[in-house]
Structure 1
Amino acid sequence: MLKKLLLALCIGGLSSSAVAAESGATPVAGATVTPAAAQMVRQAVKNLSANVQVDSIEAAPIPGFYQVIAAGQMIYVSTDGKYLMHGDVIDLSRRQNVSDSAWSRFRKDELAKVPASQRIVFAPPHPKYTISVFTDVNCGFCRALHEHMAAFNKEGIAVEYLAWPREGLTTTAGRPTPTYTEMVSVWCASDRKAAFTAAKEGHAPPPATCANPVKDQFNLGLKLGVTGTPMIIGPDGSELGGYVTPEQLLQALQKGS
């Protein structure tokens, strides 16, 4: 959907009237914007694609721009409404990707809204670190990652799984995808952890339905920029990669702490 937005930009660009200049003031990087400015940015994006959901707007580290997260992508909209940019922003003096820090804040805040009761959790008695993992029960790398669970827990790492069926929620015919159906059955099992591990080993759970978070978690993944599984997110919201060994994961967590 965002690709359509960017295509529209290439064809015609944002109209100068889409977002009015905000009193000539330069927003402070990372600061939230005024309600009026936020509404103007949302309108600018809506003018390009009415179906794109804007999830976050704050002042960008680039003077004169807002940093916007929409449809699982980060874009930059100028405060005068004339320009839209898509891509990473690098602070050359610090040699840091400042887009990453904004993504981390956003992911951390959004994941905090997901109750532990809606996740499938494998944790040691006293975790040193807790990671969130968007997963699919049938993907090879997801299964390989889960094989290390005892080693992760031994290193003090708690793993909290969220559902992200890679096939999506429905087929082109509008029917539930097989993986979505299987993951619903896992989340609805009387022993979710046992059903989850069995599914990772190729043993599909008995069909079951209930009130479940699979659809919501899939949509959350899209919102957070998930494009494949597994996707590991650290305690601070940073992306720690896909398949990693226990040693690699522990090093990444220690580096970020």
Structure 2
Amino acid sequence: MIKQLSLAALIGVCSTFSMADVASVTKNLKQQHPHLKLENIQATEMKGIYSAAMDGQVVYLNEDAQHILAGSMIRLKDQHNLTKDLLIQQNSVDWKKLPLQDALKSVRGTGKRQIAIFSDPNCPYCKQLEAELKKLNNITVYTFVLPLKAQSVTPSKQVFCEKNPAQAWENLISKAQLPSSKSSCANPIERNLALAKSLAVQGTPAIIFSNGFKVMGAYPAAQIEQIFKEFGL
């Protein structure tokens, strides 16, 4: 918290900027730094400072777009982390709209906590995430099989032809054991690819928590537990 407050204080001391609007900030950014891809630029509670999304992170810039700051913005009167709110807002999907019937379901313990993941059987980071997920208990994992690699398409489809698709997926992702079935059958692969596109999931693995918060990458089990705790999930 001290580090966060120090950053907020530093921003306040350095903020001698005149007021502007989002349009002028966006214009200055495009003119002076066209190579930077900043999205969702908006005014913050701190005068002269604007927030933006860059590579899935929240950053802050001033009206002339000459400086970018990364860190947490804390509202001092109630110690509320405004950056956390922005991060959730910018990386959130509607959990209730996820077609969970197209996902492979795995339940451990009570299964009370829920996450959905997008995974490719030939993605090394997906394999790493699978190992981390095994360390968690009282969780339900919905896996949307997402074969982004060409060599992943056929085995991903064949998983759904097995008597126990969830076990077939486990064998494929963890042991590189190909499905025994060579026949074709109904599968959700094309729908999963369309879903990923609609959610801006351009790589694997991706994790979506039951409150809709989305993150990318092979998060360690301890970090996943921390997110559950922070959101009260």
Place the TM-score, normalised by the shorter chain, in its bin.
Answer: 0.5 to 0.7
Of residues 101, 104, 110, the one that matches 2:89 is 101
Scaled by the length of structure 2, the TM-score of the pair is 0.61
Q: Distance in 2 between matches of 1:103 and 1:144?
A: 22
Describe the shift of the 1:255–1:100 C-alpha distance in structure 2 as closer, same or farther (beyond 3 A): closer
Q: Does 1:160 align with 2:165?
A: no
Q: Which runs of 5 or more structure 1 residues have no equivalent in the other structure?
A: 1-61, 65-84, 168-176
The answer on whether the counterparts of 1:132 and 1:233 sit within 8 Å (CA) in structure 2 is: yes
* Cα deviation code 1:154-185 (max 9, x no counterpart): 2x222110011112xxxxxxxxx431111000
SS of 1:188 mapped into structure 2: coil
* 2:202 alignment partner in structure 1: 227
* 2:158 alignment partner in structure 1: 185
Counting matched residue pairs gives 161
Describe the shift of the 1:242–1:208 C-alpha distance in structure 2 as closer, same or farther (beyond 3 A): farther
* 2:11 alignment partner in structure 1: none
* 1:238 alignment partner in structure 2: 213
In the TM superposition, structure 1's runs of 4+ consecutive aligned residues that sit over 3 Å from their partners are 94-100
Give 1:107 deviation, angstroms: 3.7
Of residues 65, 71, 87, the one that matches 2:39 is 87
Q: Distance in 2 between matches of 1:90 and 1:255?
A: 25
Structure 1 vs Structure 2 CA RMSD: 2.6
* Cα deviation code 1:215-235 (max 9, x no counterpart): 101110011011111100111
Q: What code does the residue aligned with 1:120 have?
A: L
Q: Does 1:197 align with 2:170?
A: yes
Q: Which is worse superposed, 197-206 or 226-235? A: 197-206
Q: Which runs of 5 or more structure 2 residues have no equivalent in the other structure?
A: 1-20, 24-36, 46-81
Q: What code does the residue aligned with 1:144 have?
A: Q
* Cα deviation code 1:125-157 (max 9, x no counterpart): 4123100000001110111111234312x2x22
Q: Distance in 1 between matches of 2:169 and 2:226?
A: 27
Q: Which has the larger radius of gyration?
A: 2
Q: Distance in 2 between matches of 1:122 and 1:151?
A: 13
Q: Distance in 2 between matches of 1:137 and 1:115?
A: 19
Q: What code does the residue aligned with 2:177 have?
A: H
Give 1:210 deviation, angstroms: 1.1
Describe the shift of the 1:238–1:135 C-alpha distance in structure 2 as closer, same or farther (beyond 3 A): same
Of residues 105, 123, 141, the one that matches 1:121 is 105
Q: What code does the residue aligned with 2:125 have?
A: F
Q: Which is worse superposed, 184-193 or 94-103? A: 94-103
Q: What code does the residue aligned with 2:146 have?
A: W
Q: Distance in 2 between matches of 1:122 and 1:241?
A: 20
The answer on whether the counterparts of 2:109 and 2:139 sit within 8 Å (CA) in structure 1 is: no
SS of 2:183 mapped into structure 1: coil
* 1:212 alignment partner in structure 2: 187
Q: Distance in 2 between matches of 1:124 and 1:217?
A: 24
Q: Distance in 2 between matches of 1:236 and 1:165?
A: 25
The answer on whether the counterparts of 2:114 and 2:141 sit within 8 Å (CA) in structure 1 is: yes
